[in-house]
Amino acid sequence: MPPFERTFSRFTRKREHAVAFKSMLRRRGIQVTSITEHAGDSPTGKLMEAIIESGDEFYSENLHFMVSEDMRLSGMMMWLSKLLAGLSILSSC
């Protein structure tokens, strides 16, 4: 049983950070392993790990884009509704 176990769904948001952090931890004798994806230390396992980390980075960047776009559209809708409300007040005068 390892002395310290941490569970997480994504190690980092960027692949370059994952490589740097895992390298730093490896130099200190700490091994990072996935509970859900059993990649291993073989060349194929390293490729799988890179693909998973790239997928995590894509998910994070795509989520940021979608949230930003939704916020922009929400702001535009709010501005438009205020404009229309103002126009209806002016036309009733």
Give the pair of three-digit tokens for residue 92: 């009733």
Number of other residues whose CB lies within 10 A of the CB of residue 53? 21
Is 5 contained in some domain? no
- 84 part of a folded domain: yes
Q: Which amino acid is at 89?
A: I
Nearest to 53 by CA among 12, 22, 25, 7: 12
Question: For residues 52 and 39, is the Cβ–Cβ distance under 8 A?
Answer: yes
Is residue 1 in a domain? no
How do residues 11-44 score in pLDDT, each as one tens digit? 778 888 888 998 999 899 988 877 777 777 889 8
Average pLDDT, the chain: 80
* pTM for the whole structure: 0.57
Domain count, the chain: 1
| Residue 25 resides in a domain | yes
Q: Which domain holds residue 34?
A: 15-91
Q: Is residue 85 part of a domain?
A: yes
